[in-house]
Structure 1
Amino acid sequence: MSRIRDAALNRPLNEPVLLDAATEPVEAAPLGLDIRARIAEIDEARLRKDRLARLRRELAKRDYAGALLSDPMNIRYATGSRNMAVWTMHAPGRYVFVATDGPVVMFEFGTTRHLTEGLDTIDDLRTSIPWFYFLAGPRTEEKTALWANEIIALMAEHGAGNRRLAVDRCEPWGAQRLVDAGIRLYDAQEPLEQARMIKTPDEIMCLQLSMDVCDIAVDRIRRALRPGLTENQVWSILHETNIAHDGEWIECRLLASGERTNPWFQECGNREIQAGDIVAFDTDMVGPFGYLADISRSFVCPDKRPSADQRALYEIAQEQVLTNIELIRPGLGFRDFSERCWAVPEAYVPNRYMMMIHGVGFVDEYPTVAYLEDYADWGYDGHFEENMVVCVESYIGAVGGREGVKLEQQVLITANGAVPMSRAPFVDAMEP
């Protein structure tokens, strides 16, 4: 049944730490010497420099004078700076102005400026002017005017007459002040996503490191899995392992068991897992250096052998992922891929996963590849390129069926095709 074997299967993996009992906390997973050494090997200065250069090339292609970025993912890509990333996703009080041909001006919370001082990608460090209501309250209009005046002045000083500015997140009353000053606003997400699409050699090292940490966690989950544990207890193993190995956060709560595996996207809870239940999960793990490890696995809880129906679901999902991985190669168009891809059996089409492929970097990124029948609604074309990292998805579960299987493999696109980055059990994983 297997036609693809992970190229990294023989790579040594840190010994996992197991759950001792359902009611006891997980022992702290030791930071293995191999992981510690590999973290130290990452040339962070080169990583930052190369990413900033890629962004500036994309800005120059579009004749933008610069970019104004508030999204913490984009700030980190452009500068390498990290400060309360999850909090600032909903409280955008720090931002950066990146001149296409000029300085990088970082605006940081006054009491946290020390976190960014001395960073080689930042030329000018200033105190930010938060203008969202939580911090500005009834002074929002005043703070918005101060914020806008500073951005207008930067454009006048470093735009060389170019009034085209790429912006990612900006409340309309702030945007209007920039427009009234003669600045033309454009979506920064396009140049950012295009810059982030092709990974530098250091980014590939970071992505592989994050995946190796994820594999440790998946191995621990599989060894710890037994009847009586709750979904939340099992899910906590991924979090603990990630944090212990210098990782950062988990994007979602996608672990389900038994009948909660169909349909997909039910978040984990306090359900006790029973012997013979399918336990399916999607890691969405932001690991070391902020890079994503995004794989899905489905296991059967021990003390009861997999049923024929469970094996059939798994084999179909596995066939979809393996077949589609084989198709990927540099130069292949997204629509061409959709036309040639593995055909989902009719019984599973209504509950199929929302997309077949998506890009990976800090988080889920461009591109997404739609099923052919979805192109009229939201699909778009493009082509795969060498040094892209993408995830190949499958969910197989019939409407009204008791269970479903979720599988996903993260792959690096090389000159010779797609190479899986994970060594966590995938092929024939339901075999005893």
Structure 2
Amino acid sequence: MSRRKYGTDYGTPLSDSHVKVDFAKLRQDRLERARAQMKKDGLGALLLFSHYNIRYVTSFRCPLYSRTDPRYFALLPREGAPYLWGVGGHIYTFDDQMPWLKGNIRLAKGAVDWMIRESAAYGGGFIKEVADILAEHGILNEPLGIDGPPTYSILELAEACKKNGITKLADGRSTMQEARKIKTTEEIELLEISAAIAEAAFAEAQEAIRPGISENELAGVLLKKLLCMGAEWVNDLVICFGETTNPNRRAFGDRMLRPGDMGFIDIAGSEFCGYRTCYYRTFTVGRASQEQKELYQAAYEMTYAGMSAVKAGNTTLDVVNKWPGPEHWGWDNEYIAYENKMGHGIGLTQHDTPIIVASIAKASPLVLEENMVIALEVYEGKRGGKQGCKVEEEIVVTKDGYDVLTHWPVKEITECWI
């Protein structure tokens, strides 16, 4: 299918000479999608703890440490600008940095106390502030959707809400999942820039792959290039060569590469403006052997077989039906084999809607919609074998099929040190 350019030149999205990524439109479109889903789900507001949902509605980039130890929270009422709570003196720069929040910046007074006792934060005024804002908007008695505090007690939160007059709590996580599943034009542009940054890192890896380099050192090569190119953060790298490819270890270690090795790299979760990659490619140290070429051809064909079922109106079941059963890899159930043939949405999270695995698709197939962005990945390597390979493409669902966002050569193995 086509490789469409979504309006950028893949450079830094700043220029006075031509239109590039329209961030004002990005923010407005994301808010409209979130509010449309809130209305559909009957919510008066959303209280958000997850960093990717906070970014979706406020554009605030949460510091890395706060992703697992939350110090920042957002409230999205039905109307008006979102509210953002944070800690530390830097929150007093937010008014200038994020004028679209209209001054709705609050100090999360009890957030640090959460490290000692969860109730201290709730009792410290945070939930009372939320209740006061809901009352000002006339929505205190309407359902409040919550995406769930990741590391703290939901029971403490529910009790604090009740004490402050918030009596109707609802699931906000699924609301945000639905809002995020269809990508705006600007989101697709950012996903494509993120993929382009990953390709620059693949090029560095291609030059570095040779006998003696370790997987750890190769990770350093990739990380340096990704960060220098503008990636905010890299959630994960999978770098496996030789025997670590079968089964897929999904990590990297101190193994040194040797002549004849086949391996794969997944640049997983390299973030540009929050938008991620999930991007496997396979490499060899030297010329690929015939066996390696055959393994790779099988992985390539299975990946593109799944992609052939992708278009708006088809379902996730149509995709998984293009792939063999778990017995192909020597397993007897889908739960073990799922990561050998899967797909998932990608955006501000690594696994957006839809999740495309056989066990879920057969039980509850999901209709593919235009402008979903999904990553499809297939592994080939028989159980008990000595090597394996993997192929992955990121694609945009269109009414007639798909557009490919990932452009690193895929029809053949990338041969290095030749």
For Structure 1 versus Structure 2, the TM-score category normalised by the shorter chain is: 0.7 to 0.9
* Distance in 2 (alpha carbons) for counterparts of 1:160 and 1:402: 61
CA–CA distance in structure 1, aligned partners of residues 276 and 14 of structure 2 = 15
- 8 Å contact kept, 1:286–1:362: no
**Could you give the per-residue CA deviations for residues 18-39 of structure 1, whole angstroms, max 9, x where no partner exists?**
xxxxxxxxxxxxxxxx654545
User: Normalised by the size of structure 2, how large is the TM-score?
Assistant: 0.88
SS in 1 for 2:337: coil
Does the CA contact (< 8 Å) of 1:353 and 1:395 recur in 2? Answer: no
Matched with 1:122 is 101
Which residue of 1 is the match for residue 304 of structure 2?
Answer: 322
Specify the SS of the correspondent of 1:250.
strand
> Equivalents in 2 of 1:156, 1:134: separation in Å?
25
Q: How does 1:201-220 map to 2 (within 5 A)?
A: 201-220=185-204
Instruction: Mark the CA change 1:244 to 1:382 in structure 2 (over 3 Å): closer, same or farther.
Output: same
More moved, 56-65 vs 153-162: 153-162
Q: Would you say 1:366 and 2:380 are equivalent positions?
A: no
Q: Report the CA distance between 1:300 and its aligned residue.
A: 0.8
CA contact (8 A) 1:329 1:385 kept: yes
What residue is the counterpart of 1:143 in the other structure? 121
Corresponding residue for residue 108 of structure 1? 86
Indicate which of 296, 314, 317 corresponds to 1:335.
317
In structure 1, what is the Cα distance between the partners aligned to 2:182 and 2:302? 25
* Alignment pair present for 1:76 and 2:55: yes
Specify whether residues 39 and 409 from structure 1 end up closer, same or farther in structure 2 by C-alpha distance, changes over 3 A only: farther
Deviation at 1:337, TM superposition (A): 3.0
The Cα of 1:415 is off from its aligned counterpart by: 2.4
Alignment of 1:232-311 (within 5 A): 232-302=216-286, 305-311=287-293
In 1: Cα distance, 2:236 partner to 2:313 partner: 32
- Counterpart Cα distance in 2 of 1:206 and 1:343: 33
Q: What per-residue deviation string (whole Å, max 9, x for no partner) do you get for residues 93-147 of structure 1? A: 1101110124411112141214522424313111113446565x36x43332122
Matches of 2:62 and 2:346 in 1, distance apart?
21
Aligned to 2:22: 43
TM-score (norm. length: structure 1): 0.85
- Deviations, residues 183-209 of structure 1 (Å, cap 9, x unaligned): 222221211111111111111111111
> How far did 1:389 drift?
0.7
CA distance in structure 1 between the aligned counterparts of 2:345 and 2:293, rounded to whole angstroms: 29
The answer to whether the 8 A contact 1:245-1:288 is kept is no
In 2, the alpha carbon distance for the partners of 1:39 and 1:398 equals 48
* Partner SS for 2:397: strand
Name the structure 2 match of 1:176. 159
The 1:313–1:345 alpha-carbon spacing in structure 2 relative to 1, beyond 3 Å, is farther
Q: Is the Cα contact below 8 Å between 1:92 and 1:132 reproduced in 2?
A: no
1:153 is aligned to 132
Residues 1:166 and 2:145 are matched in the alignment: yes
Q: Which residue of 1 aligns with 2:3?
A: 7
Q: Secondary structure at the match of 1:356?
A: strand
Query: Bigger shift: 341-350 or 409-418?
Result: 341-350
CA–CA separation in structure 2 for the residues paired with 1:39 and 1:270: 40
For 2:55 and 2:157, locate their aligned partners in 1 and report how far apart those are by CA, in whole Å. Answer: 23
Q: What is the rounded CA distance, in whole Å, between the counterparts of 1:134 and 1:301 in structure 2?
A: 50
Q: Does structure 1 residue 87 correspond to structure 2 residue 65?
A: yes
Distance 1:210 1:39 in 2: 15
Aligned partner of 2:77 among 70, 74, 99: 99
Report the CA distance shift for 1:235/1:396 in structure 2 as closer, same or farther (over 3 A).
same
1:411 matches 2:407: no
- State the shift of 1:298 in Å: 1.0
Corresponding pairs, count: 396
Task: Measure the CA separation in 2 of the matches of 1:101 and 1:310.
Answer: 57
Quote how far apart the aligned CAs of 1:299 are: 0.8
Does the Cα contact within 8 Å between 2:141 and 2:166 map onto a contact in 1?
no
Long gaps (5+) in structure 1:
12-33
- CA 1:322–1:244 in 2, change beyond 3 Å: closer, same or farther? same
Partner of 1:357: 343
Alpha-carbon distance in structure 1 between the residues aligned to 2:174 and 2:146: 10
What is the percent sequence identity of the aligned residues?
A: 26
Aligned residues of 2:110 and 2:120 also touching (Cα < 8 A): no
Instruction: Tell me what 2:329 maps to.
Output: 348
Instruction: Please report the RMSD computed on the Cα atoms of aligned residues, expressed in angstroms.
Output: 2.4
**What secondary structure, in the 3-state scheme, does the structure 1 residue paired with 2:376 have?**
strand
Helix, strand or coil: the match of 2:101? Answer: coil
Matches of 1:280 and 1:152, distance apart in 2: 51
SS in 1 for 2:237: coil
Partner AA of 2:172 in structure 1: A
